[in-house]
């Protein structure tokens, strides 16, 4: 089964908690804090794999979770960092946010890695929390939560040359006789239900050709299979436009297919296109070929894929065209864009007034909240100081908060004290 688009949810591992401990040892008069830091959580990483050609594995793995970091321990021992979770994906995989508003990254080479969910940072132990004002803190930090987001994983076949044309014009036959690819071949429309890749060797040089499912008229509007596979054409540097000389009007087919490419993406018509007239071994095709050459007004390569007639000439023509064809440059995501997605340029906190309380939310507030160990009084006091330094107290007064009003911060409730 060919799967080229799927939505999955990824979870970076949570960081390990820091530990609050003290050094009590004979002959050591001032032991001080001795709690280690927690280890960082694991990342979810996609890895390029040449042997894969579909995203089928992700269909049965909709939730991908990385391991959490190990908690810190006494005697100043830091927790181990968690191992990353690696997921193998085919080359040509592109990762977007679920609404496809931002491109996170893509994988184009074997063993290339792309982090799709970062693990949380490990919490600090009380060794790291010690300051000149508080040389022996009675608290430590909890580890940060890892990134959790829904992503759209899309596959665009990586090929130098793309075979385009109506169904049953001989594209699959051509790729089967000149490469090791073995696509399904039959005399009915839409035999090819998924892109087939073939590696071609011409002398000492090689290129990859993709047999894409046949287009039909109005494919860009959803008819046939074309709309599903048009995106795979975008990566091809050269198009091999195959025409069937035995069809009623090959010239009309040529015009319609080019129109579909234009309606999907006008830039596709700027790519080099080799026109191939197939099935010259059939009777009566000589006159059809001459007429077609006059109508199109461009050079046409005439072959018989079934009998492998003039196929070698076509391969050398493809190689010659590829040498001159420009490389396709796609926009790369920037780290600034990624930071904007996952850290969000929002206020540090948001105050919402409800019937019986004031509710505080916000991503930055959530980070501070999650790091706090509310079982320790000293940690709670530190949390209150952090809120004050963020301007929460002043903002609450502006919103009308009075002494002993209820302040709800996520799942905890506090009293506002003047």
Residues 29 and 89 in one domain: yes
Residue 172 and residue 240 share a domain = yes
CATH code assigned at 371: 3.30.300.350
Residues 252, 197 share a domain: yes
Bridge-based pairing of strands 148-155 and 5-11 is antiparallel
Instruction: Decide: helix, strand or coil at residue 300.
Output: strand
Inside any domain, residue 350 = yes
Whether residue 283 is found in the same domain as residue 390: no
Of the CA atoms within 13 Å of residue 129, those in its CB half-sphere come to 29
Say if residue 207 is in the same domain as residue 292.
Answer: yes
Q: How confident is the model at residue 345 (pLDDT cuts 50, 70, 90)?
A: low
Q: Is the pLDDT of residue 180 over 60?
A: no
> Domain end: 155, 180, 205, which one?
155
Same domain, 167 and 121: no
Q: What's the mean pLDDT in 59-80?
A: 95
Cα separation of 275 and 286, whole Å?
Answer: 16
Domain annotation covers residue 336 = no
Could you give the CA distance from residue 194 to residue 55 in angstroms, rounded to a whole number? 12
For the segment 96-114, the average pLDDT, to the nearest whole number, is 92
Q: Which helix (H) or strand (E) holds 287?
A: helix 285-296
Q: pLDDT, tens digit, for every residue of 244-291?
A: 999 999 999 999 889 888 888 888 889 999 999 999 999 989 999 999
Q: Helix or strand or coil: residue 233? A: helix
Nearest to 277 by CA among 262, 291, 261: 291
| Same domain, yes or no: 226 and 200 | yes
Provide the CATH number for the domain around residue 58: 2.70.210.12
Rg (CA), the chain: 31
Name every residue whose Cβ is closer than 8 Å to that of residue 403 and which is 6 or more positions away in sequence.
416, 417, 418
Number of domain units in the chain:
3
Return the pLDDT at 166.
83
The chain-wide mean pLDDT, for the chain, equals 86
- Among 270, 215, 265, residue whose Cα is nearest residue 242: 215
Structure-token pair, residue 177: 């006789």
CATH of the domain at 310: 3.40.50.300
Residue finishing a domain among 129, 155, 181: 155
Q: Which residues contact 308 (CB under 8 A, 6 or more apart)?
A: 177, 178
Distance (Å, rounded) from C-alpha 150 to C-alpha 7? 7
Which strands sit side by side in the sheet containing 63-65, from one edge to the other? 63-65, 5-11, 148-155, 93-97, 103-107
In this predicted structure, which of 83-87, 181-185, 196-200, 342-346 has the lowest mean pLDDT?
Answer: 181-185
Per-residue pLDDT band at 96 (split at 50, 70, 90): very high
- Same domain membership, residue 179 and residue 90: no
Instruction: Indicate yes or no: pTM above 0.85.
Output: no
Q: Tell me which of 264, 291, 324 is where a domain ends.
A: 324
User: Average pLDDT, stretch 89-106?
Assistant: 91
- Any domain includes 69: yes
Give the largest Cα separation in the chain, rounded: 105
Residues spanned by the domain of 373: 344-415
Per DSSP bridges, beta strands 85-90 and 44-49 are parallel
Residue 334, domain member (yes or no): no
187 pLDDT more than 90? no
Buried b (16+ CB within 10 A) or exposed e, 119-144: bbbbbbbbbbbbeeeeeebebbbbbb
- Window from 198-202, 320-324, 340-344, 374-378 with minimum mean pLDDT: 340-344
- pLDDT at residue 3 in the model: 76
């Amino acid at each position: 089964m060919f799967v080229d688009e799927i939505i999955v949810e990824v979870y970076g591992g949570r960081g390990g908690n820091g530990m609050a401990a003290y050094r009590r040892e004979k002959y050591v008069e001032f032991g001080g804090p001795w709690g280690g830091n927690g280890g960082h959580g694991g990342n979810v990483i996609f890895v390029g794999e040449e042997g894969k050609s579909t995203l089928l594995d992700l269909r049965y793995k909709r939730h991908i979770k990385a391991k959490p970091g190990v908690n810190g321990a006494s005697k100043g021992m830091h927790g181990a960092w968690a191992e990353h979770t690696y997921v193998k994906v085919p080359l040509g995989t592109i990762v977007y946010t679920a609404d496809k508003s931002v491109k996170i990254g893509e994988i184009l080479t074997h063993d290339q890695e792309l982090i799709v969910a970062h693990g949380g940072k490990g919490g600090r132990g009380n060794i790291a929390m010690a300051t000149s004002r508080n040389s022996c803190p009675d608290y430590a930090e909890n580890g940060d939560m890892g990134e959790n987001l829904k992503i759209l994983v899309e596959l665009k076949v990586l090929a130098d040359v793309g075979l385009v044309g109506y169904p049953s014009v001989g594209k699959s036959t051509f790729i089967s006789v000149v490469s090791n690819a073995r696509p399904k071949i039959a005399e009915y429309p839409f035999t090819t239900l998924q892109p087939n890749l073939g590696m071609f060797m011409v002398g000492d040089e090689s290129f990859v050709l993709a047999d894409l499912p046949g287009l039909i008229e109005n494919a860009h509007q959803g008819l046939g299979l074309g709309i599903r596979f048009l995106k795979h054409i975008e990566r091809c540097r050269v198009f091999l436009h195959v025409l069937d000389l035995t069809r009623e009007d090959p010239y009309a087919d040529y015009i319609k297919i080019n129109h579909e490419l234009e309606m999907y993406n006008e830039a596709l018509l700027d790519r080099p296109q080799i026109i191939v007239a197939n099935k010259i071994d059939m009777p009566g095709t000589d006159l059809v070929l001459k007429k077609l050459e006059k109508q199109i007004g461009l050079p046409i390569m005439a072959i018989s894929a079934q009998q492998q007639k003039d196929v070698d000439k076509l391969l050398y023509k493809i190689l010659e065209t590829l040498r001159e064809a420009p490389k396709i440059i796609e926009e790369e995501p920037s780290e600034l864009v990624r930071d904007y997605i996952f850290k969000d340029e929002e206020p540090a906190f948001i105050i919402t007034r409800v019937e019986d309380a004031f509710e505080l939310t916000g991503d930055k507030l959530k980070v501070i909240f999650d790091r706090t160990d509310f079982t320790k009084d000293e940690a709670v006091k530190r949390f209150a100081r952090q809120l004050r330094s963020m301007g929460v107290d002043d903002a609450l007064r502006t919103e009308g908060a009075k002494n002993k009003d209820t302040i709800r911060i996520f799942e905890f409730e506090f009293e506002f004290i003047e």
